Structure 1
Amino acid sequence: MQTYLTRTKAVPRSSNSPTAERPLVPVHLDSIEAERPFFVPDKITIVDDVLTMGRTSFACAELLRAACPNAEIRIFAMIRTQGLQNDIEKIVDPATGVIVGYPSGKTHRDP
């Protein structure tokens, strides 16, 4: 396993922030540096602990896309949430989806 990304500035965690205060994609882009690897793989998997809005993972994918333009980039997250929830319907709910980024710096994650 090789590390391609390094967080250079701290940002607030989305999972602990109110919706309106979650960092936008440009904040994440400004706080992470990507290295062009010596060996460029065909596939890259970004591993995230908690996927809330997907902005951190989206920013990481954008940086990796610039460094490795021909690589297929996927995201894996152990926990998928939309923030703090009072009622948890399911503990296990695997999903495959898409994260779309907007010029505003916001993202839409489905699911």
Structure 2
Amino acid sequence: ALEKRNGETKDGIRLVTVMDHAQAQKWKFGEQSLSQALENPHVQAFLGEEEQTEAYLEAHKKVRGNKIHLWHSDDLGNVPVARPLVLFNDYLSSNYGFIGVRRVPGVRTIEEKINE
């Protein structure tokens, strides 16, 4: 699993942290307390640095209470694999199929190939 590093860059390249797949699978998902969520590396990786994470969870507590639900689908089985980012309208995602208007950057659609 990749963790973003809150926009941190080195020589103009955005840095990420790689989390071991086996370690990533050990953390709890589903409903949990905000204090448990604060300790979960997936939460901090998603929300940013510790200060940012604490601020978000505090705001969440005011609106939703002391529990949060972390959703995760282990559709990879026991083998880590790469997942291409797919362009869908105005955002990139890795959890959609190759249907409709979704595109892989740099790969032409059938229509584009036919109209050459």
Query: TM-score when scaled to structure 1?
Result: 0.26
Considering fraction of residues, name the structure with more helix: 2
Whose relative contact order is higher, 1 or 2, with alpha carbons under 8 Å and at least 6 apart?
1
The structure with the largest alpha-carbon Rg is 2
Query: TM-score when scaled to structure 2?
Result: 0.26
